[in-house]
Structure 1
Amino acid sequence: MAERDDSPLCLPSRGGVQRQAGVGLSASSSASLLQRLLNILAHFFKRYKLLVRAVVLALIAVFLGTGVWRSWSTVSQYHWDVSWWLFLAAFLLLIAQELSYGFIWRGILARLGSRLDIVTSQRIYLGAEFVRYIPGNVWHVITRVLWAEQRGVPKSVGLASMVIELATKITSAALIFVLSLFFWPDVGALTSRIDIPHGVLVVSAAVLVPLLLAGLYPPLLQTLLNLALKRLGREPVTITVRYFDLLLITSYWMLSWLVAGAGFYLLIDSIAGITLAPTTLALAIGIYAIAWDVGFLSFVTPSGLGFREAAMILLLTASNLVPSLAIATVLAFITRLLATGSELICIAIAHIAPGAPVPPSVEMAQPAGGQLP
């Protein structure tokens, strides 16, 4: 009797993928030229990835450094009256967001038919984050899938959970930012700096919210994911998770962004001193969330280094939450340090805890069948 395959994410074998003759041909010479140019750029980036990253980081450093240098008098003369209690509270909220990731991932697994207890899911999630600092940006995915498999989670389910996690997390951050646009007290504060007519952002927000929610509809999400996978030369996927479950998971991520955004808000208040009001809280939460999206989707630097900070600086300055570009730059880099610190603390706890997963270098030295978390 044939075994039924009910995996939520179906990956066809390489041999089963065939391309129809003539599909790759363009309808016009201009489209063909554009495709050829994109292929050349993709090949160049793949071959000289480290060089491209170094150049991009250097350009970002020059841009940010120039801004600080031009405003150095503001930085040096600024009255830095740090509220350490607010600073500590901000750090604790960032740690809370980091811990929430494992809970959300556990919820995703449950909706895919696999269950892990709370401690095990946290150990696997946070333990796998340790290898995210290894060049390649895929090792934490592989590690988490393999460790979860040793706890009874099929590889197909583990991979499906990663795809759903990224899709819903990215969408939730965008939703948070779009919703925050309704709270801008003066839309002109942003549009005057980027020359967009007043009111466009509010109208855009009203349109983008339903579009983002529609993008999570499983058939549409599957199409969008497969288009991206095709560009990356990966196999297509099939998602069979219910739309309601995707919306529920997205709401969990949104709560996570609210926690981290509140921490960012307290950090700004502890250093720059802002007016405590619901509108400024909404702005801070939206800025923090969309800056993460920008950094993640840059795909150029590790953890979006530079891109996340640039987006944060632009929006902090445009929203008038901080008095100057220089102060915004200082805040952006302090935020990066605190976020990285909260991540490392959680990772350390995961590795120190009894029964926690061992580092990959030690694990590979163990014989097959060695126990993980």
Structure 2
Amino acid sequence: MDEKPAEPSPEAVVPRRSLARRLVRYGFLAVALAFGAYFVTKQWDAVVAGFAELSWQALLGSLVAVVAALLGAMLTWRTLLADLGSPLRARPAAKVFFVGQLGKYIPGAVWPMLAQMEMGRDLGVPRSRSAAAFFLMMPIQIATGLLVTLVTLGWDRFGWLLLIVPVLLVLLEPKVINALIGYALRKLRREPLERPLTRRGMLTALGWALAGWVAYGVHLYFVAPQGGLLFAVGAFALSWCLGIVTFVIPAGAGVREFAMVAVLAPHLDQGAAIAVALSSRIVIIAGDLICAGLAGIAARRDSV
């Protein structure tokens, strides 16, 4: 008798397309880190001198501002989730958002969403609402970030952004968003959202997002005050938006730093600008870890 063919191993059933995507993501990350390492090494003496000019007081103030900015992002997400029909108390919401956001450091854009969906489900939040709130965060951040860039860095240099902002504003119209979400859920054969997004909820979310950009600008101003506070707000918003759109690379690694060095060029030499960009990245990572840790501890105490 013919022998029964062996069962394929788990590795063999992994779709080649999925494997190729992972390889592309890791490849992008490796290239970004390699170029970043070369760039820093080439300017090493100037970078060291730039770090020497940063005081612990400035870095501490920058960290406090980052925590405030992250809180603004959490409140943006919480507002969207509540408007869609799943209001959460502050502590559980903070845990779901901040712990889930740690997934952005993993290659691929879906890990924070998956984490938030699973943790949210334990709190009674339908997965479709968690996914909708997650995906709405990106256009809100990009639209408000580009608006902040226009206002703070000048219309003469970045007037071309006016071509993008109206498109984003149309996409942020609740009627358009509700139609797009409904279409996506039908295609996925999922139940429609019980409550549509309202204009009041969207405006409140936009307000929290703008507050977050101001806090991020303060964070950059502490370590790079040469251009003034308004310049710092715009410089960070622009570099962050460029990092967000390169979602293939975890947390925009490398892209945001390159953009920040370029934007800071009128006020800082290259070595000092690199030191500021690297300091910003380190402070933001520390802020993510602090917020996730504190939110987890607070939520655990709240449940006792």
Answer yes or no: same fold by TM over 0.5. yes
Instruction: Report the equivalent of 2:59.
Output: 87
What is the aligned counterpart of 2:232 among 251, 272, 284? Answer: 284
Distance 2:101 2:39 in 1: 33
Distance 1:290 1:315 in 2: 8
The superposition leaves residues 260-311 of structure 1 with CA deviations (integer Å, 9 ceiling, x where unpaired) of: 1111111213xxxx26xxxx32221122122222222212221111111121
2:253 is the alignment partner of 1:305: yes
**CA distance 1:207–1:54, shift in 2 (3 Å):** closer
The superposition leaves residues 19-69 of structure 1 with CA deviations (integer Å, 9 ceiling, x where unpaired) of: xxxxxxxxxxxxxxxxxxxxxxxx998543344344434443454445445
**CA distance 1:62–1:225, shift in 2 (3 Å):** farther
Contact 2:25 2:108 in 1 (8 A): no
Q: What's the offset of the Cα at 1:170?
A: 2.5
Contact 2:95 2:295 in 1 (8 A): yes
Instruction: Report the equivalent of 2:10.
Output: none
Contact 1:71 1:326 in 2 (8 A): yes
Distance 1:74 1:151 in 2: 50
Contact 1:180 1:286 in 2 (8 A): yes
Q: What's the offset of the Cα at 1:175?
A: 1.8
Contact 2:26 2:107 in 1 (8 A): no
Instruction: Report the equivalent of 1:268.
Output: 224
Contact 2:108 2:248 in 1 (8 A): no
Q: What's the offset of the Cα at 1:350?
A: 2.3
**CA distance 1:181–1:128, shift in 2 (3 Å):** same
2:216 maps to amino acid: A
Report the TM-score, using the length of structure 1 for normalisation.
Answer: 0.65
1:296-335 alignment to 2 at 5 Å? 296-317=244-265, 320-322=266-268, 324-335=269-280
2:219 is the alignment partner of 1:294: no
Q: What's the offset of the Cα at 1:336?
A: 0.7
Higher relative contact order, structure no. (Cα contacts within 8 Å, ≥ 6 residues apart): 2
Report the TM-score, using the length of structure 2 for normalisation.
Answer: 0.78
Q: What's the offset of the Cα at 1:258?
A: 0.6
What is the aligned counterpart of 2:294 among 328, 349, 353? Answer: 349
Structure 1 gaps of 5+ residues are: 1-42, 184-198, 358-371
Distance 1:61 1:164 in 2: 29
The superposition leaves residues 201-225 of structure 1 with CA deviations (integer Å, 9 ceiling, x where unpaired) of: 3643566554543332235456888
Distance 1:80 1:167 in 2: 38
Contact 1:64 1:329 in 2 (8 A): no
Q: What's the offset of the Cα at 1:78?
A: 6.0
**CA distance 1:140–1:209, shift in 2 (3 Å):** closer
* CA RMSD across the alignment: 3.5
